[in-house]
Amino acid sequence: MIATTVFELLIKSLWHRIPARIRSTHSWGAPPGTPTTHSSPATRLPLEVVEIITAYLIHDMPSLRACALISYSWYIAAVPHLHHTFTTGQRFHVQNIDYPDPLHHTHTVGLLPLEVVEMIVAYLIYDTSSLCACSMTCYSWYIATVPHLHHTLTLETHSRVQNFEWSNPLQRNHALGLLPLVKRLRVSGSDNGHSGLSPTLFNCRILRQFLALSHVRELEVEYLDLPNFMPGIRRYFRNLLPTIRSLSLREPRGSHRQIIYFIGLFQHLQDLRLRYVGYDIWQKTVNDPTLFPPFIPPLRGRLTMGHFAEVGFLKEMIDLFGGIRFYYMNLLNVGGMRLLLDAGAETLECVVFSPSDRYGE
């Protein structure tokens, strides 16, 4: 009964995500109300999924009529329910008494192919409550939903958090064996005191748990304390170096060479986001001209810069990486904008100049 209730709520939630109902567009020779437009993602769902959704709407005639107008496959699935009962005078005649009631056939939920389950779950990836409901339906649904539930992990290093309390989410996920499922890692700091990620936050146990993040593709760090990490920074980030495709740094502390060296650690990096570089007194760290990035990342994705004042940083990055190859740039209050556009002219396809706002985002 629990699985029945959970799945019923899931289907209702999925129904609200179906795109706007197709307007009445008819073709010659088609039954009245049969749609001919196939522009919505709902038209690509397998027939088995469509039948399950319509079966849970058998007592909702307006919704069934709307289903019948989505596409021909939805029309075929909804018509048996629309004409399941007919009225003559004051008496009701049921044409098929033995038609199965989905609320009494919960075993069909667990028998769905995993590909179908994953397609249903894909429509709910931004709805955590619905994903939790999916994970409680049965084991196959749990397997399909758990990667979306634990896709993002956020660690806070605010000044009010003591050194070895910042990793509580890390410890909980490590105990449950969920860290390999994390694809996006966010390390947030605080404007108050500029507390951020530094080696003082790690001990042997926390470092071992941090290294269990073996499949992270997106890394976002606020107030990264590079001078204190150098020169043994690879010891802390070695598990992330082969997998990271997107890097976001907000107000990193360190010299130009140290920041470029950190970017160059990620040999497969495509997207780069830098914010508030050059606005902090920590940027006065002396440059080390002997510090060279170990790799030249592809950097063929998206470049986002906001409140970036260091033209010298851009010149060094372009020189050390042999140019830049981004196809998309989003720039806000950036010094040396002409330099960026000239360096990426061969590959650049889209440029966006974001309007300033009071938050600088």
**Residue 130 domain-assigned?**
no
pLDDT tens-place values along the chain, 361 residues long = 444 555 555 555 555 544 433 333 333 334 444 444 444 455 666 776 777 777 767 777 777 777 777 777 778 888 888 877 655 544 444 444 344 444 444 445 556 677 778 888 888 888 888 888 878 877 888 888 888 989 999 998 876 666 667 888 999 999 988 999 999 999 988 766 557 888 988 999 999 999 999 999 999 999 999 999 988 999 999 999 999 999 999 999 888 999 999 999 999 999 999 998 765 444 556 677 788 999 999 999 999 998 888 888 999 999 999 999 999 999 988 888 889 999 999 999 999 987 654 444 4
What is the Cβ-side half-sphere exposure of residue 183, based on CA atoms within 13 angstroms?
A: 7
> Do 227 and 346 sit in the same domain of this protein?
yes
> Do 185 and 109 sit in the same domain of this protein?
no
**DSSP sequence for 275-312:** ESTT-SGGGGPPP-TT---S------SEEEEEEE--HH
Q: Using the 8-state DSSP alphabet, how is residue 23 labeled?
A: P
> Do 247 and 295 sit in the same domain of this protein?
yes
**For residue 108, what are its two tokens?**
């069909």
> Do 217 and 306 sit in the same domain of this protein?
yes
What angle separates helix 256-264 from helix 311-320, to the nearest 10 degrees?
40
ω before 231 within 30° of 0 (cis)? yes
**Residue 133 domain-assigned?**
no
The pTM assigned to this predicted structure is 0.69
Given 56, 86, 114, which residue is the final one in a domain? 114
Domain with residue 199: its CATH number is 3.80.10
**CA angle at residue 222 from 190 to 323, to 5 degrees?**
155
Given 90, 114, 138, which residue is the final one in a domain? 114
**Residue 346 domain-assigned?**
yes
**Residue 321 domain-assigned?**
yes
Over its C-alpha atoms, the chain yields an Rg (Å, rounded) of 27
> Do 89 and 202 sit in the same domain of this protein?
no
> Do 108 and 247 sit in the same domain of this protein?
no
Instruction: Determine the residue type at 250.
Output: R
Return the pLDDT at 324.
Answer: 92
Return the pLDDT at 284.
Answer: 55
Residue with tokens 């890097």: 247
What angle separates helix 2-16 from helix 128-135, to the nearest 10 degrees?
150
**Rounded Cα distance, 109 and 113, in Å:** 9
> Do 214 and 281 sit in the same domain of this protein?
yes
Return the pLDDT at 155.
Answer: 92
Contact 348, 329 (CB under 8 A): yes
> Do 188 and 321 sit in the same domain of this protein?
yes
Residues 6 or more apart whose CB falls under 8 angstroms from that of 277 comprise: 249, 251, 252, 259, 283, 307, 308, 309, 310, 313
Given 114, 134, 169, which residue is the final one in a domain? 114
> Do 204 and 299 sit in the same domain of this protein?
yes
**Residue 262 domain-assigned?**
yes
What is the Cβ-side half-sphere exposure of residue 198, based on CA atoms within 13 angstroms?
A: 15
**Residue 284 domain-assigned?**
yes
How many other C-beta atoms are found inside a 10 Å radius of the C-beta of residue 264?
A: 19
Return the pLDDT at 21.
Answer: 38
Contact 288, 257 (CB under 8 A): yes
Number of domains in the chain: 2
**Residue 136 domain-assigned?**
no
> Do 197 and 317 sit in the same domain of this protein?
yes
> Do 158 and 278 sit in the same domain of this protein?
yes
Cα→Cα distances 226→31, 198, 213, 257, 347, Å? 68, 8, 20, 10, 31
> Do 68 and 175 sit in the same domain of this protein?
no
Range of the domain at 293: 150-353
**Rounded Cα distance, 221 and 194, in Å:** 12
**Residue 361 domain-assigned?**
no
Beta strand spans in the chain (E): 85-88, 91-94, 152-156, 184-188, 218-222, 246-250, 271-275, 302-308, 328-334, 350-353
